[in-house]
Amino acid sequence: MLGQMMNVPLVIPSLLEFAAKYHGDCEIVSKTVEGPIHRYTYVGMARRARQLANALRGLGLGEGDIVGTLAWNGYRHVELYYAVSGIGAVCHTVNPRLFVEQITYIINHAEDRYIFTDLTFVKLLEGLADKLPKVRGFVLMTDRAHMPSTTLPKALCYEELLAGQPDTFDWPVVDENSAAALCYTSGTTGNPRGVLYSHRSTVLHSMAVNFADAFALTARDAMLPVVPMFHVNAWGIPYAAPVSGCKLVMPGPHLDGPSLTSLMETEGVTITAGVPTVWLNLLAHIKETGKRPSKLDRVVIGGSACPPAMMEAFEGLGIRTIHAWGMTEMSPLGVINSPTRKTEALPAAERAAVALKQGRPLFGVDIKIVDAAGEDLPFDAVSFGSLKVHGYWICSGYFRQDPVPAHEEPGWFDTGDVATIDAEGFVKIVDRTKDVIKSGGEWISSIDLENVAIAHPAVREAAAIGRPDEKWGERPVIVAVLKPGASATAEEIRAFYRGKVGKWCEPDAVIIVESLPHTATGKLLKTELRRLYGG
Those residues whose C-beta lies under 8 Å from the C-beta of residue 369, and which sit 6 or more positions away, are 376, 377, 383, 384, 385, 386, 387, 388, 419, 420, 421
State the Cα–Cα distance between residues 515 and 259, nearest whole angstrom.
22
Nearer to ligand ADP, 305 or 311 (CB): 305
Q: Answer whether 79's CB lies under 8 Å from 139's CB.
A: no
Q: In one letter, which amino acid is 238?
A: P
Q: How far is CA 425 from the centre of its chain?
A: 23
* Near ligand ADP in 291-350, by CB under 6 A: 302-305, 323-328
State the Cα–Cα distance between residues 431 and 386, nearest whole angstrom.
10
Q: 346 has which bridge partners?
A: none
Single residue of 79, 112, 176, 417 touching ligand ADP by CB under 6 A = 417
Nearer to ligand ADP, 199 or 388 (CB): 388
534: nearest Cα among 437, 467, 453: 467
Single residue of 523, 532, 533, 534 touching ligand ADP by CB under 6 A = 523
Give catalytic status of residue 388 as yes or no. Answer: no
State the Cα–Cα distance between residues 36 and 70, nearest whole angstrom.
20
By CB under 6 A, residue 430 contacts ligand ADP: no
Q: In one letter, which amino acid is 119?
A: L
Minimum Å distance from CB 428 to ligand ADP?
Answer: 9
Q: Answer whether 24's CB lies under 8 Å from 43's CB.
A: yes
Binding mask 246-265 for ligand ADP (x = CB under 6 A): --------------------
State the Cα–Cα distance between residues 424 and 516, nearest whole angstrom.
36
Give catalytic status of residue 101 as yes or no. Answer: no
Give catalytic status of residue 171 as yes or no. Answer: no
Nearer to ligand ADP, 270 or 337 (CB): 337
Whether a cis peptide bond, with omega within 30° of 0, leads into 410 is: no
Minimum Å distance from CB 7 to ligand ADP?
Answer: 33
Minimum Å distance from CB 185 to ligand ADP?
Answer: 5
Nearer to ligand ADP, 397 or 416 (CB): 416
State the Cα–Cα distance between residues 121 and 128, nearest whole angstrom.
11
Minimum Å distance from CB 259 to ligand ADP?
Answer: 24
By CB under 6 A, residue 432 contacts ligand ADP: yes
Given 123, 288, 408, 443, the catalytic residue: 443
Annotate 234-254 with DSSP letters as a single string.
HHTHHHHHHHHT-EEEE-TT-
Q: Point out which span in 259-267, 463-471, 498-506, 516-524 binds ligand ADP (CB under 6 A).
A: 516-524
By CB under 6 A, residue 185 contacts ligand ADP: yes
Binding mask 40-69 for ligand ADP (x = CB under 6 A): ------------------------------
Q: Point out which span in 113-121, 261-269, 466-474, 515-523 binds ligand ADP (CB under 6 A).
A: 515-523
Nearer to ligand ADP, 136 or 407 (CB): 407
State the Cα–Cα distance between residues 37 and 428, nearest whole angstrom.
40
Other beta carbons within 10 angstroms of residue 130's beta carbon come to 9
Given 438, 442, 492, 500, the catalytic residue: 438
What is the three-state SS of 90-143?
A: EEEECCCCCCHHHHHHHHHHHCCCEEEECHHHHHHHHCCHHHCCCCCEEEECCC
* Near ligand ADP in 74-93, by CB under 6 A: none
Nearer to ligand ADP, 196 or 305 (CB): 305
Minimum Å distance from CB 101 to ligand ADP?
Answer: 17
By CB under 6 A, residue 217 contacts ligand ADP: no
Nearer to ligand ADP, 142 or 186 (CB): 186
Given 176, 329, 450, 474, the catalytic residue: 329
Give catalytic status of residue 438 as yes or no. Answer: yes
Minimum Å distance from CB 384 to ligand ADP?
Answer: 14
Q: In one letter, which amino acid is 46?
A: A
From first CA to last CA, the distance across the chain in angstroms is 66
| Total residues at interface with ligand ADP (CB under 6 A) | 22
By CB under 6 A, residue 412 contacts ligand ADP: no
Q: Answer whether 257's CB lies under 8 Å from 264's CB.
A: no
Three-point CA angle 520, 523, 529, nearest 5°: 100
Nearer to ligand ADP, 324 or 505 (CB): 324
Single residue of 233, 261, 415, 420 touching ligand ADP by CB under 6 A = 415
State the Cα–Cα distance between residues 278 and 314, nearest whole angstrom.
13
Q: Point out which span in 34-42, 52-60, 220-228, 518-526 binds ligand ADP (CB under 6 A).
A: 518-526
Nearer to ligand ADP, 245 or 276 (CB): 276
* Near ligand ADP in 344-383, by CB under 6 A: 358
Minimum Å distance from CB 327 to ligand ADP?
Answer: 4
Given 32, 69, 117, 185, the catalytic residue: 185
Q: How far is CA 354 from the centre of its chain?
A: 23
Q: 196 has which bridge partners?
A: 182
Task: Give percent helix, percent strand, percent coil of the chain, each to the nearest 5.
Answer: 30, 25, 40
325: nearest Cα among 453, 447, 203, 459: 447
Nearer to ligand ADP, 139 or 354 (CB): 354
By CB under 6 A, name the binding residues for ligand ADP: 185-186, 232, 302-305, 323-328, 358, 415-417, 429, 432, 519, 521, 523
The residues annotated with a catalytic role in the active site are 185, 329, 438, 443
